[in-house]
Amino acid sequence: MEKAKKVEFQNPLITCDCSDCVLRTLMFQYTSEEEALAICKSKIQKVVMKGETIVSQGEPIKNFFYIKDGLVKLYRQFQNEKDTQIICLALPYDYVSLLTVFHDSEYRYSMAALEDTTVCILPIDFVKNIIRNNGPLGMGFLEKSSLSTDRIINNYITINGRNLRGRIAFILLDFADRVYHRDFFELPVSRKEVAQLIGMTTENVIRILSEFRQEKIIRINGKEIEILDKKRLNMICEHG
């Protein structure tokens, strides 16, 4: 993950056939036939392998991204590498790009794939143009934007108010309920990344996962996690 190679978009591997795009309802719900066609032509679709970086903070903003399939992390790095914070994990249908692309000239956050991921890429100027020509589409973007950022803020508020056990419980439930919709899953992140996501040290992430294992709340086998006592986990999440 640390040595992630940078993906180049100059030569797209695939041009999306929009007729089968799972995101049709999002992007095309409000667009005319011509606009839809124009979008298809401008859009490139790229498969990014687990561990690869999609964009890095500080680069000039050229593209709008959305996740067609897979899982990515949005994160902020600092001089002191150990201060890195993960802002959120983004799933298909999340417009993670929305955070900065509409008001700034440089990406403020970096984005990397946690699983093999298909990203759809549109030139930002093109997106801005079709929004300017299509009010309902702009409204759609506002709804999505509002939803994504509200969720991020809500996460921060939630995590802030919890002790370490509560945070681990929260993140496990988030993986089970929001990300995988299963109580048995393979953690897509390292212990260190969990720590960066919920603001604690790697050692304590491990320690508390071990506690939960000893208390028969979860079963752990490397990256495999199974939630055995969800009621208990919910209790810990709610009341430390």
Partner DNA sequence: CGCGGCTTTGATGTTCATCAAGTAAAGTGG
Partner DNA sequence: CCACTTTACTTGATGAACATCAAAGCCGCG
Q: Interface with a copy of itself by CB under 8 A: which residues?
A: 76, 78, 83, 85, 87, 98-104, 108, 128, 131-139, 141-147, 149-150, 152-154, 156-157, 160-161, 199
Choose from DNA, a copy of itself, none: what does 232 bind? Cβ within 5-8 Å by kind.
none
- For tokens 């304590």, the residue is 204
With tokens 């490139």, the residue in question is 44
Among a copy of itself, DNA, none, what does residue 201 contact (CB within 5–8 Å per kind)? DNA
Binding mask 197-216 for DNA (x = CB under 7 A): --xxxxxx-xx-xx------
Q: Which does 210 bind (CB under 5 to 8 A by kind): a copy of itself, DNA, none?
A: DNA
Burial of 172 (0-12, 13-18, 19+ CB in 10 A): buried
Q: Is there binding between residue 165 and DNA (CB under 7 A)? A: yes
Give the span between the Cα atoms of 95 and 65, in whole angstroms: 7
Residue 29 CB: number of other CB atoms within 10 A? 11
Residue that the structure tokens 């709804």 belong to: 143
Stretch that binds DNA, among 68-76, 94-102, 170-178, 220-228 (CB under 7 A): 220-228
Q: What are phi and psi of 64, to 5 degrees?
A: -105, 135
> Min. distance of Cβ 139 from DNA in angstroms?
40
Identify the burial level of 10 via C-beta atoms within 10 angstroms of its C-beta, where 0-12 means exposed, 13-18 middle and 19 or more buried: exposed
DSSP 19: G
Which residues face 123 on adjacent strands?
A: 63
CB of 109 to DNA, least distance (A): 19
Q: Which is nearer to a copy of itself, 156 or 184 (CB)?
A: 156
- Burial of 71: CB neighbours in 10 Å, binned 0-12, 13-18, 19+: buried
Contact flag: residue 1 with DNA (CB under 7 A): yes
Contact residues for DNA, defined by CB under 7 A: 1-3, 163-165, 190-192, 199-204, 206-207, 209-210, 220, 222-223
